[in-house]
Amino acid sequence: MAKSEQERSVSVELPDGSQLHFDEPVTVEDVAYEIGPGLGEDCRAGRVDGELVPPEYEITDDAEIEIVTPGSDDYLNLIRHSAAHVFAQALQRIYPEAELAIGPWTDEGFYYDIAGVDIDEDDFEEIEAEMAAIVEADYDIERVYRDREEALEIYADNEYKRDILETEAAGEEPVSFYVQDDWQDLCKGPHVESTGEIGAFELLQISSAYWRGEEENEMLTRVYGTAFESEDDLEAFLERRRKAEERDHRKIGQELDLFSIDETTGPGLPLYHPNGKTVLNELSEYVGNLNREADYREVETPHVFRTELWKKSGHYDNYRDDMFLLDVNDEEYGLKPMNCPGHATIFDQQQWSYRDLPVRYFEDGKVYRKEQRGELSGLSRVWAFTIDDGHLFVRPDQIEDEVEAIMDIILDTLETFDLDYNIQFATRPEKSVGSDDIWERAEAQLESVLEDQDIDYEIEDGDGAFYGPKIDFAFEDALGRSWDGPTVQLDFNMPERFDLSYVGEDNEEHRPVMIHRALYGSYERFFMVLIEHYNGKFPPWLAPEQVRILPISDDQIPYAKQIQNRYLDDYRVTIEDRSWTVKRKIRQGHEDRVPYMLILGSNEEEAGTISVRDRKEQELNDVDPEAFADHLGTEIDQRRTDVTFVQQHGN
């Protein structure tokens, strides 16, 4: 039956909130021309209800739309997607036997997974030269359609493209390809109009990746690259990348003997060395004090539970593929991927009155998630990690006050570590539990807190936890990179699933609301961020070694011990007693990023003083050791982020 004119009409909402109305379905490009001929000429793609699509994409229902033109944020994604095709074309010119898998854009560039050819980074120069020739030729990039049989014939010898045709493109007829010169690739787009629009590019590195990220599949070669509109933008990116490599937490972790990840113990299972554990202990003590001051009570739950618990909580259905499961005496158990079911069970062990709420629990709880090996990366993504978890059980009328209090603690925490941040409000994901009514109530409660506190935030549609919406804090490090961190999550579902209750003022049973929160997120990722943010130069209160005493000769070792025992007994202090020159001792102290070095020679011993050198290479002589110890104590007690003694006492 043909649609009526009313049924065929389409309304689109533009970023400024204005609307355009059409009597029939229209393409993104049609909308752009309707706004203005110049915008139509410049249209390279569109965002329709959040999805990036090519100009010829047809809009058949009411939608929100944004036109992508050169200079738009999304234009860089188009350049990078097209650069991935240019790489693939260049590769197949040099190595015709190369098989192509997938080649998407990423936040930092693009990658292409390939098979059938053995290349390494020494081959980049030749491939980049061929890519430059393709960009210089300025080939038109055109979208064409092939019928399914023709597409299958084109990829008769490419199992990866055939897999895509039979899965992601299973319902498409005809099938979308993009063509440049005599080369083509199965692709939905979008792309720039010609290869000449790629202003600058560079291939970065090679790694391995399983097809589809599944370990039972074939291992492919993944080539990473990046692309920008201009050489200046590329050079700025490469400089940021160089600085990031210098601050890489894996490199610094080895230099400072903080942690290691050994394949013999298993991937994604970090081992913390004494220096690293010292930092973690300080982090735990800091956040533990915050919890106790806010009337949280510490609990502890085991690492493994029967899967009956995970089925009850909903984790089994939603997290089973990411869980480590094991059989014990014909019963199935699972290492815990989250701490919340254990805390809910503790709450359920006794009866509660409305006067008892809120009940607040906290735990540094170790959890386990079976990430794909190819996704593991240092401390940023691991199999075993510790969440500074907190769970609150509250009456509905207490929600806003408790969420506000949690956010105040989070903001104080981020300020302590001198971390900038932004806030996202994440709504119901596609894979979730609970009724529409529950989700609407939960989202309205969290959004009300954000609005009442006049907090700037972005909405992340569909990015909530499977059991409830959340407020996420993403912190920025010294290089401007963003990392997931603290979170506040509102949960009406788990109390229902666990049949939790309290007795209200009316002597009837009522359902509490559960709030999940973490002040760091996880210790592993937060530790990683701090290592890179500070470049290993931890604030004195966190530093594994706060002071290193450098006797100029063995004759001053007794004086060094006297200074340590009399003035610095409460701090983490070592004496460098190796038979090195003082110059070498100082150099090693700077390489180890020790906040303060105390240099002791015969003059200092005779005068009963010390010479103080900080890691900024500032030095002050004839210092009263008691004055230094008092200052160090103040820096540590106030959790200052940098060394300030020489600067404050040098005048």
Q: Give the span between the Cα atoms of 67 and 75, in whole angstroms.
A: 10
Q: How many domains does the chain have?
A: 4
pLDDT class for 567, splitting at 50, 70, 90?
very high
Tokens found for residue 221: 């070669």
CA nearest 77: which of 40, 47, 114?
A: 47
Do 588 and 522 belong to one domain? Answer: no
User: What pTM value is reported for the model?
Assistant: 0.80
What CATH number does the domain containing 630 carry? 3.40.50.800
Is 649 marked within a binding site? no
Same domain for 207 and 232 = yes
Task: Output the DSSP codes for 4-45.
Answer: PHHHH-EEEE-TTS-EEEESS-EEHHHHHHHH-HHHHHH--E
Residue 510, domain member (yes or no): yes
* Residue 573 counted as domain residue: yes
In the predicted structure, residue 267 carries a pLDDT above the cut 50: yes
Indicate the residue among 510, 533, 556 that finishes a domain.
533
pLDDT at 608 over 60: yes
The pair of three-digit structure tokens given for residue 188, joined into one six-digit string:
């939905």
pLDDT above 70 for 175 = yes
> Do 376 and 510 lie in a common domain?
yes
pLDDT at residue 166 is higher than 60: yes
Q: Is residue 341 part of a domain?
A: no
Q: Is 315 annotated as a binding residue?
A: no
pLDDT tens-digit series, residues 204-239 = 999 988 898 787 889 999 999 999 999 999 999 999
DSSP 213: G
Please identify, among 476, 501, 533, the residue that sits at the C-terminal boundary of a domain.
Answer: 533
Q: Is the pLDDT of residue 2 over 50?
A: no
Distance of alpha carbon 467 from alpha carbon 489, whole angstroms: 9
CA distance 142 to 179: 5
The pLDDT-based confidence of 585 (bands split at 50, 70, 90) is very high
Which band of pLDDT confidence, cut at 50, 70 and 90, is reported for residue 7? low
Residue-level pLDDT at 249: 92
Q: Within this chain, do residues 179 and 216 fall inside the same structural domain, yes or no?
A: yes
Asked if residue 477 belongs to a domain, the reply is: yes
Look over the chain and give the mean of its residue pLDDT values, rounded to a whole number: 92
In tens, the pLDDT along 379-429 reads: 888 999 999 999 999 998 999 899 999 999 999 999 999 888 899 999 998
In a domain, 189, yes or no: yes
Distance CA 164, CA 422 (A): 37
- Average pLDDT over every residue of 503-517: 95
| pLDDT over 90 (residue 140) | yes
Answer yes or no: is 85 a known binding residue. Answer: no
23 and 126 belong to one structural domain: no
Mean pLDDT along residues 95-99: 96
Reported confidence tier of residue 97, pLDDT bands at 50, 70, 90: very high
* Tokens 């010898």 found at: 157
Question: Looking at the structure, do residues 377 and 518 belong to the same domain, yes or no?
Answer: yes
Question: Does residue 288 sit in the same domain as residue 390?
Answer: yes
| Residue pLDDT, tens place only, 357-374 | 999 999 999 999 988 776
648 in Cβ contact with 614 (< 8 Å): no
Give me the domain span that covers residue 516. Answer: 274-300+350-533
Among 68, 100, 117, which residue terminates a domain? Answer: 68
Residues 91, 113: Cα–Cα separation, whole Å:
12
Query: For position 597, what pLDDT does the model report?
Result: 97
Q: Does residue 386 come out as left (phi exceeding 0), alpha (psi in the -120 to 50 range) or beta?
A: beta
If you average pLDDT over residues 100-112, what whole number do you get? 94
Residues 15 and 133 in one domain: no
Q: What is the mean pLDDT of residues 9-27?
A: 91
Largest CA distance in the chain: 103
Q: How far apart are CA 47 and CA 55, in angstroms?
A: 10
181 in any annotated domain: yes
Domain CATH code at residue 157: 3.30.980.10
276 backbone φψ class: left, alpha, beta (φ>0; ψ -120 to 50): alpha
Q: Please report whether residue 290 resides in a domain.
A: yes
Mean pLDDT of 539-565: 96
State the CATH number of the domain containing residue 44: 3.10.20.30
Q: Return d(Cα 224, Cα 204) in angstroms, integer.
A: 5
Give yes or no: residues 476 and 355 share one domain: yes
User: Could you report the per-residue pLDDT of 303-360, keeping only the tens digit for each?
Assistant: 999 999 999 988 888 778 888 999 998 899 999 999 999 999 999 999 999 999 999 9
pLDDT exceeds cutoff 90 at 48: yes
Is there a single domain that holds both residue 511 and residue 617? Answer: no
**Rounded mean pLDDT, 627-647:** 95
Please indicate, yes or no, if residue 506 is contained in any of the structural domains: yes
Are residue 385 and residue 441 in the same domain, yes or no? yes
Shared domain check, 281 and 164: no
* CATH code for the domain of 506: 3.30.930.10
Query: Which of 97-101, 467-471, 533-537 has the lowest average pLDDT?
Result: 467-471
Sequence-distant (6+) residues with CB within 8 A of 328 are none
